[in-house]
Amino acid sequence: MYYEDFDNAGQAGRPGDDVYSKPVRAGKRTYFFDVKTTKGNDYYLTITESKRRVEKDGRFVYDKHKIFLYKEDFDKFSEGLQEVVDFIKTKCPVIETERDERGEEPDKEQSATSASFTDVNFDEL
C-alpha cells in the first residue's frame, strides 16, 4: 500500500511516517514490511511480526516483535537471509503435516484433542 502523503517535492510528512506498507499473512502470524522516513527524509524499513493469542480471560492480545533495517544494511541482510533460506530448503527434510483448509498447521492442543475422537456419520445411526 503506497501512501500519497507527499508534498510537491516528494518528501514525506513527519519522521517515522509510513510511506509504504506490505502486510504478509503467514499462518498464525502476520508480517508487516513498512517503509518509513527519517528526520533527513531518508527511508528505512521496519519488519514487524505479529501473532494473535488468547489470554486466560478470553481477550485477544497481539505479541509483536519489530526490527529496524536501514538502507546501508539492506544488501548484507538480504544476502544473509537468502543464504539461510537456501540452507533450510536444501538441508531440512520436508515433513508432511496436517493442514487446515487455510493451509495452516493445526494447534498441537487441537490436534491432540481431535485425534482422540473418531468420525461419526449421523446418517448411519
- Give the tens place of pLDDT for each residue, 61-108: 999 999 999 999 999 999 999 999 999 999 987 776 555 555 555 555
Tell me the pLDDT band of 17, cut-offs 50, 70 and 90: confident
Name the helix (H) or strand (E) containing 34.
strand 29-37
The 3-state DSSP class for residue 43 equals strand
Cβ pair 35, 43 in contact under 8 A: yes
Q: How far apart are CA 35 and CA 55, in angstroms?
A: 31
What is the pTM (predicted TM-score) of this model? 0.61
Question: Domains in the chain, ordered, with CATH?
Answer: 1-70 (3.10.450.700)
Cβ pair 51, 63 in contact under 8 A: yes
Phi, psi of 29 (to 5 degrees): -115, 155
What ranges make up the beta strands (E) of the chain? 18-26, 29-37, 43-54, 60-70
Q: How far apart are CA 24 and CA 19, in angstroms?
A: 17
The 3-state DSSP class for residue 10 equals coil
